[in-house]
């Protein structure tokens, strides 16, 4: 039986860092493929998201559209409402957000007042089920911040095994803001032939990159030639994610907001640091094999590696299509009416103007892509 001293020793064992976990995995099993390194660095023990990395103005590492303010969620709620009507306003309509972070989009979608994720008493009165909002987030620290009215889970299968979702196709929508760029990628490097990047341990015990033999077979989306040293992501995980997300739904749609480049061939001509980026504390980080677990690793999404979407729009086009201009005008009018004696509510209406500027910025968030895949009905 362990003594008290042993118990103390167990309690004080430090949490492993991502770098030590990766080094230990390589020492035990041999080199790791880059997507495995990225998975450990972001989501493993001591990984960036595991240990509290997140979007947000205060205490966050980067700003995303939901974190700009409530306007983004208000417009997304309009799209959800339109999908709900399109599929016939069914009972049990489910909104699933994957990579929900601390739940900011969920909060703002509900605060729009357009959708009923409501209370059970309304169900008694109307005999109808309100909508479900399932917030799926891998990071336990971010799940802890989710509001109590969402079904907060680490994976969709947790929602099924926990009894919150039926085990079968759903009617509803699946939304992901800046998820695809954070899914682990395989990494290819051109030096006369395309080779795959792996990570091994150097003589000093640090993680270093090593290249495989030329890859064979040659994926269709991969250009035959490229500048020496060119790199491209192999987005197997993102392609699988889209296929599975669409497969979850018997009717409805999947909507993903992200930074997207149409073809892998275009990425091959870009300096790799412009599409394979690291971030921490609102600034660009170090090389992707440095500071493992201490910085976000994110990649531009190559559209030609994903199942073909039903629609592709810029974020600016999408938000305008779903009424951002009307919402901003409503804010302007409300602010003008209250300007003599401003209230908090009036100031929130006024902030729609600056939020829209950020969300529509053609050199920033407005240039993101919005990819939509319709599930077959
Ligand atoms: C860039 S953040 C975006 C967070 C939020 N959607 C936003 O826009 O502010 C990506 C989030 O996706 C989460 N994530 C990554 N892979 C995931 C997965 N397979 N399932 C659920 N969450 C995931 C990460 O933990 C992280 O919180």
Tell me the CA–centroid distance for residue 309 and ligand 1, in Å.
21
* Domain extent listing, the chain: 315-370
| Cα-based distances in Å from 299 to 35, 110, 208, 243, 332 | 12, 30, 20, 19, 37
Predicted confidence (pLDDT) at residue 377 exceeds the cutoff of 80: no
Q: What separation in Å is there between the alpha carbon of 239 and the centre of ligand 1?
A: 16
Q: What is the pLDDT of residues 150-161, one digit of tens each?
A: 999 999 999 999
- Three-class SS of residue 115? coil
Q: How far is the CA of 9 from the centre of ligand 1 (A)?
A: 34
Question: Ligand 1, closest atom to CA 100?
Answer: 6
- Please tell me the distance from the alpha carbon of residue 347 to that of residue 341, in angstroms, as a whole number: 11
Distance of alpha carbon 305 from alpha carbon 15, whole angstroms:
37
Residue nearest ligand 1's atom 11 by CA? 99
Among the ranges given (109-123, 266-280, 295-309), the one the predictor scored with the smallest mean pLDDT = 109-123
Give me the pLDDT at residue 14, please.
66
Return the beta strands (E) in the chain as ranges.
32-33, 94-98, 132-136, 151-153, 170-177, 186-190, 194-201, 207-214, 231-234, 249-258, 260-261, 276-280, 283-284, 296-299, 301-302, 311-314, 369-375
Q: Determine the distance separating the centroid of ligand 1 and the alpha carbon of 81, expressed in angstroms.
A: 23
User: What contacts 92, CB < 8 A, 6 or more positions away?
Assistant: 129, 132, 170, 171
Averaged confidence pLDDT in the chain:
92
83-127: per-residue pLDDT in tens?
999 999 999 899 999 999 999 999 999 999 999 887 544 445 556
Model's pTM, two decimal places? 0.93
What pairs with residue 201 in β-bridges? 207
pLDDT digits (tens, 9 = 90+) for 206-239: 999 999 999 999 999 999 999 999 999 999 999 9
Element (H, E) at 236: helix 236-248
Give me the percent of the chain exceeding a pLDDT of 90: 84
Mean pLDDT lowest among 113-127, 185-199, 244-258: 113-127
**pLDDT reported for residue 59:** 79
Determine the pLDDT at residue 90: 93
Placement of tokens 């739940």 in the chain: 103
Extended beta strands in 106-224, E state = 132-136, 151-153, 170-177, 186-190, 194-201, 207-214
The verdict on whether omega for the bond into residue 217 sits within 30 degrees of 0, i.e. cis, is: yes
Which atom from ligand 1 is nearest to the alpha carbon of 136? 21
The confidence score (pLDDT) of residue 57 equals: 79
The pair of three-digit structure tokens given for residue 269, joined into one six-digit string: 């001509």
């Amino acid at each position: 039986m362990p003594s008290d001293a042993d118990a103390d020793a167990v309690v004080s064992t430090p949490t492993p860092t991502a770098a030590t976990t990766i080094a230990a995995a390589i020492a035990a099993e041999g080199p790791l493929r880059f997507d495995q390194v990225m998975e450990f660095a972001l989501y493993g023990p001591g990984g960036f998201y595991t240990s509290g990395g997140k979007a947000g103005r205060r205490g966050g590492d980067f700003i995303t559209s939901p974190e700009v303010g409530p306007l983004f969620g208000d417009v997304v709620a309009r799209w959800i409402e339109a999908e709900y009507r399109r599929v016939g306003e069914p009972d049990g309509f489910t909104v699933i957000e994957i990579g929900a972070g601390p739940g900011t989009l969920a909060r703002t979608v509900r605060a729009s007042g357009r959708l009923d994720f409501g209370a059970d008493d309304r169900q008694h009165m109307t005999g109808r089920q309100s909508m479900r909002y399932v917030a799926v987030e891998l990071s336990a620290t971010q799940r802890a911040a989710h509001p109590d009215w969402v079904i907060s889970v680490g994976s969709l299968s947790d929602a099924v095994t926990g009894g919150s979702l039926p085990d079968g196709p759903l009617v509803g929508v699946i939304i992901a803001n800046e998820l695809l760029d954070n899914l682990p990628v395989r990494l290819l490097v051109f030096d006369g032939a395309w080779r795959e990047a792996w990570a091994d341990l150097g003589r000093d015990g640090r993680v270093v990159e090593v290249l495989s033999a030329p890859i064979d077979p040659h994926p269709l989306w991969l250009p035959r030639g490229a500048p020496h040293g060119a790199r491209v992501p192999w987005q197997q995980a993102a392609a699988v994610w889209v296929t599975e997300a669409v497969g979850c739904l018997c009717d409805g749609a999947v909507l993903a907001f992200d930074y997207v480049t149409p073809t892998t061939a275009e990425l091959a001509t870009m300096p790799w640091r412009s599409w394979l980026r690291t971030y921490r504390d609102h600034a660009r980080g170090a090389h992707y094999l440095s500071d493992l677990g201490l910085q976000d690793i994110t990649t531009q999404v190559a559209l030609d590696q994903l199942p073909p979407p039903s629609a592709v729009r810029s974020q600016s086009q999408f938000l305008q299509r779903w009424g951002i201009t009307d919402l901003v005008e409503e804010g302007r009018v409300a602010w003008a009416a209250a300007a003599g004696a401003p209230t908090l509510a009036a100031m929130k209406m006024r902030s729609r103007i600056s939020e829209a500027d950020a969300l529509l910025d053609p050199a920033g968030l407005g240039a993101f892509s919005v990819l939509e895949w319709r599930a077959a009905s």
